[in-house]
């Protein structure tokens, strides 16, 4: 389980005083990037080492309780499932003991060729090992 | 079917040159607000007329093809289902004839009392009629 | 004078019910991109035709009156001054007859060489003519 | 001098691979909020204790060097000047030893009356002491 946290900022909330919901996906993505970094990777390193990118295929979230300005959002993330050409990230966001949101990202493993065309490929074992 | 469109701006894309995905949810939300407006409503009017807000319960999206800077995103939206205390919005986003993304929002119908507490209520018939 | 407009969306405002101010700069940048497009250009075309980019050197804004959700922001923009290696864009934002904000962007004219290094260059006359 | 830092995230950069500039103002605002918090304040506490808000009057920034994905942005902030009804915040952003951006915010000290009208007031001495 990878853990990180974010402080909810003034600009992240809407007129109703709660998080404007697209920001939850920004935090999912940030968490994924931080997890990569924690494993010695990042988007550029993925390209250099594996010639790979991880485009989003599907995402979703359930909102359990509101969160607002100054709350510290604790995030737990892990790879829930590896399929041949894609993997599923799970995210759980809490403020203190309150579950705020749960969500997922399905990301593909893809190569970009010289002409810029992307094509799905089986996820590299070396990447799987690093992310476990 | 409600239709609107957005031009994808420079700042909406990431280093890979495609839309940074949380922005799709920003456009879902904007489309919902524009639909309200088209029916003579908005968040303040919902509060004034129905003492109601429409908090998000669950959202999701599938990404079908990349879109980038300067593309005109055409959005089709409609209420797909009415449940007693919630409703489900569907969104379909295309660039020219290319389907780019599909998604949904499940929104609750809730009252906010004087102390700021939110509680679910059956969706008002008058609201349903306006949104049909 | 180039004119465009934006509808202020729910997600653009903060808990105080007014525009979260960094969004004004998002609209400045969008307006610049729309102006380029109006002249048959965009960032990719600038690169292709002139091997040039227009990085920001300095920006600023004065906020005259609040604006909020559902307001239609009318923007007027023009090139206020051409210097040898940079130019100054001016933006004026109004809602109905109310001046909301005024701002500027100073943009450099720069080439990116094969190694990715950026270096300032005199602004091309062909670009100046298109932007007048 | 108040110090804080931000990691530049994937979604904060544009197609050119550098920070999309409105985000610098997001970080200025976040830094101001963190400074308030450091002094036992926040927007709600300002309202509760002083019936005050701090609306933006003018802002600006100079960009000295590009910054991108994964860079850690170190921010130094302080109140540069107190005027009767406003104050000027200064921000300096660096990545390692490289100055990336410098900027300022002029914020007013204002009361909001029962009808929602805002009016400028002399900055409270108690607030000044806390922010020094």
Q: Which of residues 89-118 of C touch A (CB under 8 A)?
A: none
Percent of chain D with pLDDT over 70: 100
Which of the following is catalytic: A12, A14, A97, A113? Answer: A14
Contact predicate D74/C76, CB 8 Å: no
- Whether A29 is a known active-site residue: answer no
| Residue-by-residue pLDDT tens, chain A, 132 positions | 999 999 999 999 998 899 999 999 999 999 999 999 999 999 999 999 999 999 999 999 999 999 999 999 999 999 999 999 999 999 999 999 999 999 999 999 999 877 777 899 999 999 999 998
Contact predicate B103/A56, CB 8 Å: no
Please give the pLDDT value at position B115: 77
Sign of the CA dihedral D54, A24, A31, B95? negative
Please give the pLDDT value at position A95: 98
**pLDDT-derived band at D8, boundaries 50, 70, 90:** very high
The three-state secondary structure class of B101 is: strand
Closest by CA position to A34, among listed D31, B21, D75, D8: D8
Please give the pLDDT value at position A132: 87
Residues of chain A neighbouring D30 (CB-CB closer than 8 A): 9-11
Determine contact: B43 vs chain C, CB below 8 A.
yes
| CA–CA dist C59, C107 (Å, integer) | 9
* Confidence check: pLDDT of D115 > 90: no
b/e burial code for range C61-86 (CB count within 10 A of at least 16 → b): bebeebbbbbbebebebeeeebeeeb
Residue A115 is given by DSSP the state: T
- Residue reference for tokens 């737990």: A76
Burial of A126 (0-12, 13-18, 19+ CB in 10 A): exposed
CA of C24, closest CA in chain D: separation in Å?
8
Q: Out of D16, D18, D56, name the one closest to residue C21 (CB).
A: D56
- Residue C22 neighbours by CB under 8 Å, 6+ apart: A11, D22, D23, D25, D26, D29
> Which token pair is D63?
């960009």
Closest by CA position to C123, among listed C111, C115, C113: C111
Over residues D26-79, the pLDDT tens digits come to 999 999 999 999 999 999 999 999 999 999 999 999 999 999 999 999 999 999
CA of B76, closest CA in chain A: separation in Å?
19
Nearest CA in chain C to D25: C22
**pLDDT-derived band at D21, boundaries 50, 70, 90:** very high
Q: Out of B37, B42, B70, name the one closest to residue C42 (CB).
A: B70
| CA–CA dist C36, C51 (Å, integer) | 15
Residue B84 is given by DSSP the state: S
Dihedral (C-alpha) B18, B21, B26, B31: value to the nearest 10 degrees?
A: 70
**pLDDT-derived band at B112, boundaries 50, 70, 90:** confident
* Cβ atoms within 10 Å of B29's Cβ, excluding its own: 22
**pLDDT-derived band at B98, boundaries 50, 70, 90:** very high
With CB atoms and an 8 Å threshold, state whether B29 touches C7.
Answer: no
Residues of chain A neighbouring D43 (CB-CB closer than 8 A): 10, 69
- Residue reference for tokens 């999912």: A28
Terminal CA-CA length for chain C: 9
**pLDDT-derived band at B114, boundaries 50, 70, 90:** confident
Contact predicate C125/C109, CB 8 Å: no
Please give the pLDDT value at position C4: 97
Phi/psi of residue B66, nearest 5 degrees? -70, 155
Please give the pLDDT value at position B7: 94
Determine contact: D20 vs chain B, CB below 8 A.
yes
User: What average pLDDT does range B86-111 have in this prediction?
Assistant: 97
Determine contact: D46 vs chain C, CB below 8 A.
no
- Residue reference for tokens 């990878």: A2
Closest by CA position to A94, among listed A83, A103, A81: A103
Determine contact: C20 vs chain B, CB below 8 A.
no
| Residue-by-residue pLDDT tens, chain C, 132 positions | 999 999 999 999 998 899 999 999 999 999 999 999 999 999 999 999 999 999 999 999 999 999 999 999 999 999 999 999 999 999 999 999 999 999 999 999 999 877 777 899 999 999 999 998
CA of A94, closest CA in chain B: separation in Å?
16
Residues of chain A neighbouring B29 (CB-CB closer than 8 A): 20-22
b/e burial code for range A61-85 (CB count within 10 A of at least 16 → b): bebeebbbbbbebebebeeeebeee
User: What average pLDDT does range B97-120 have in this prediction?
Assistant: 91
**What separation in angstroms does the CA of B122 have from each of B82, B87, B119?**
10, 10, 10
pTM tops 0.90: yes
Closest by CA position to C30, among listed B23, B49, D8: B23
| CA–CA dist D123, C52 (Å, integer) | 47
> Which token pair is A15?
């007129």
Residues of chain B neighbouring A118 (CB-CB closer than 8 A): 66
User: What average pLDDT does range D115-128 have in this prediction?
Assistant: 91
Q: How many CB pairs under 8 A join C and D?
A: 57
**pLDDT-derived band at B132, boundaries 50, 70, 90:** confident
| CA–CA dist A25, A31 (Å, integer) | 10
- E strands, D22-129, in order: 52-53, 56-63, 72-82, 86-95, 98-108, 110-112, 118-120
* Cβ atoms within 10 Å of D125's Cβ, excluding its own: 9
Burial of B117 (0-12, 13-18, 19+ CB in 10 A): exposed
* Confidence check: pLDDT of B96 > 90: yes
């Amino acid at each position: 389980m990878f853990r990180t946290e974010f402080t909810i900022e003034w600009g992240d909330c809407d007129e109703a005083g709660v998080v404007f919901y697209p920001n939850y996906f920004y935090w999912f993505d940030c968490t994924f990037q931080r997890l990569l970094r924690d494993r010695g990777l990042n988007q550029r390193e993925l390209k250099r080492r594996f010639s790979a990118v991880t485009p989003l295929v599907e995402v979703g979230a359930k909102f359990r309780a509101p969160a607002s300005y100054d709350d510290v959002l604790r995030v737990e993330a892990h790879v829930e499932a590896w399929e041949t050409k894609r993997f599923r990230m799970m995210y759980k966001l809490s403020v203190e003991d309150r579950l705020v949101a749960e969500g997922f990202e399905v990301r593909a493993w893809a190569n970009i060729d010289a002409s810029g065309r992307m094509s799905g490929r089986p996820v590299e074992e070396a990447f799987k090992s690093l992310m476990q």
